[in-house]
């Protein structure tokens, strides 16, 4: 009987913690910009403009310097090839053809990349789920222990009080 209250509180807090953390994750997943948003298209066009400007100024060498200054996720999306005249069948968010100072033509494209897929419920990384489970369990256990400690003391006090008020033997009534 003493432990039932502890387990009820533990489970209640743990489930509350898990549901709250899942709701926060879902909120962030729903609020991230999609690949079709104006914000992402603007980034693609600005990245293409910076790359074509670098190629016009100094060719491959200037492009390398420009690419090194980009954030890591944009470097993977930006692809530059010598233009062969054949159209690229892959859909790009932005594309440009530019001629370098030595007369070489380049095809500069900014591609859409799929966001990382973590799998599982709500596409949550396994590490996050692990931290939620262990952290939530530890936090809930400490909180449940903290809340049940005074109740258990009162229960023990009432048990002692009840034992102290036992009727005395009949011999004392005479």
Give residue 78's pLDDT. Answer: 84
Instruction: Give the tokens for residue 128.
Output: 């996050």
Residues of the chain short of pLDDT 70, as ranges, are 1-2, 32-37, 114-123, 165-174
Give residue 119's pLDDT. Answer: 59
Q: Would you say the pTM of this structure is higher than 0.85?
A: no
Query: Domain map of the chain by residue range?
Result: 1-32+124-139, 34-114
Instruction: Give the tokens for residue 121.
Output: 């419920």
DSSP string covering 57-83: HHHHHHHHHHHHTS-HHHHHHEEEEE-
Q: Which phi and psi angles does 87 have, rounded to 5°?
A: -70, 140
pLDDT in tens, 15-48: 888 888 888 888 877 776 655 667 778 888 888 8
Give residue 25's pLDDT. Answer: 80
Give residue 170's pLDDT. Answer: 60
């Amino acid at each position: 009987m003493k432990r039932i209250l502890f387990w009820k509180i533990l489970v209640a807090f743990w489930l509350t913690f898990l549901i709250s953390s899942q709701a926060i994750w879902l909120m962030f997943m729903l609020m991230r910009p999609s690949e079709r948003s104006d914000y992402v298209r603007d980034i693609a066009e600005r990245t293409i403009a910076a790359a074509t400007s670098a190629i016009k100024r100094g060719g491959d060498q200037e492009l390398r310097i420009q690419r090194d200054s980009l954030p890591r996720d944009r470097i993977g999306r930006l692809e530059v090839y010598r233009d062969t005249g054949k159209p690229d069948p892959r859909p790009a968010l932005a594309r440009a053809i530019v001629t370098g100072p030595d007369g070489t033509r380049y095809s500069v494209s900014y591609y859409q990349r799929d966001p990382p897929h973590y799998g599982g419920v709500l596409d949550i990384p396994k590490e996050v789920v692990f931290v939620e489970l262990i952290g939530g369990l530890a936090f809930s256990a400490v909180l449940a222990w903290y809340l049940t400690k005074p109740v258990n003391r009162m229960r023990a006090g009432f048990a002692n009080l009840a034992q102290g008020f036992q009727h005395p033997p009949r011999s004392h009534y005479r």
